Amino acid sequence: MSITTEKALATAVDVGGAAQRTDPALAAPRRTLPTPVRRTGRVLLAVFTRTVAIGLLLAVWETAPRLALVDRTFLPPFSEVAVAWWRLLLDGQLAEHTQASLGRSLAGFGLAVALAVPLGLLIGWYRPLADLLGPLLEVFRNTAALALLPVFVLLLGIGETSKISIVLYACTWPILLNTISAVRSVDPTLLRLARSMDLPAPRIFQKVILPASVPTVFTGIRLAGAVAILVLVAAEMVGAKAGLGYLVNASQFNFAIPDMYAGIITISAIGVGFNQLLVALERRFTSWRTPTGN
């Protein structure tokens, strides 16, 4: 065998050995966790990430009064508030007040959605209507709802009508303004493309304007959902006989501080739950969108 042939064989052996060492198929298999285990780990991590801040807040709330960092007369430990909340739940008071507040807020919120979304679409689509109503909208949207609460009480009384009306008024503006902005901010390229296809104006409105406006409209609806709860609580502190706002106000006057905080926690929980419901509806109606993040 010649020297050249021996060198070629040696080179081939070295190359083959290197290929065996670097070939992923021939390498030692990695140990990977099963798919259900990885999914469970991700779920647990997500739950921990979303709840750790709330847990720290509750821990501080529980320990600060017990360590005399704050006066427990005015800020009792969270455990005492939880006991008061459970007592109110068992004797039916919490359910009664929650039902009253939800009925008023949902009625005003639903009327605001039914009124503001079509009006916002019309104002955003028809420029002459926007020019006509623009100054009036600027006046009312800059007038705080709570500033008009005495006016609503004087005109409509202290019954259910005034409370539903103040919620309707407060919820209308976030929905209306976001709907107008949604229509006006539609991509002009989509409009030019639709017009180049000789589509009539109603068809353009149905196929282009409405789908493109849904995300921004839902942003206004979510803002209105938070406003509905906040404004109603303030309205129920004036001349109401039931409702979470009445519960908080009456507990303060009677110096039942744990009951007061129990009502506040219930209001916060309702607000969070209502927002999550609106987020789920938004995802349902905007499922056609392409995700932009992880």
| Span 55-67, pLDDT tens digits | 898 899 899 999 9
| Span 182-229, pLDDT tens digits | 888 877 777 777 777 777 777 777 777 788 888 888 889 999 988 888
pLDDT at 54 (0 to 100) = 86
pLDDT at 85 (0 to 100) = 93
pLDDT at 175 (0 to 100) = 92
Rounded distance, CA 65 to CA 62, Å? Answer: 7
Rounded distance, CA 91 to CA 240, Å? Answer: 20
- What 3-state DSSP class applies to 176? helix
DSSP class per residue in 55-108:
HHHHHHHHHHHHTTSS-TTTS--HHHHHHHHHHHHHTTHHHHHHHHHHHHHHHH
Copy the structure tokens of residue 291.
């995700």
Copy the structure tokens of residue 168.
């309707």
> Average pLDDT for residues 71-94, to the nearest whole number?
91
CB atoms within 10 A of CB 247: 29
Q: Look up the pTM and report it.
A: 0.75
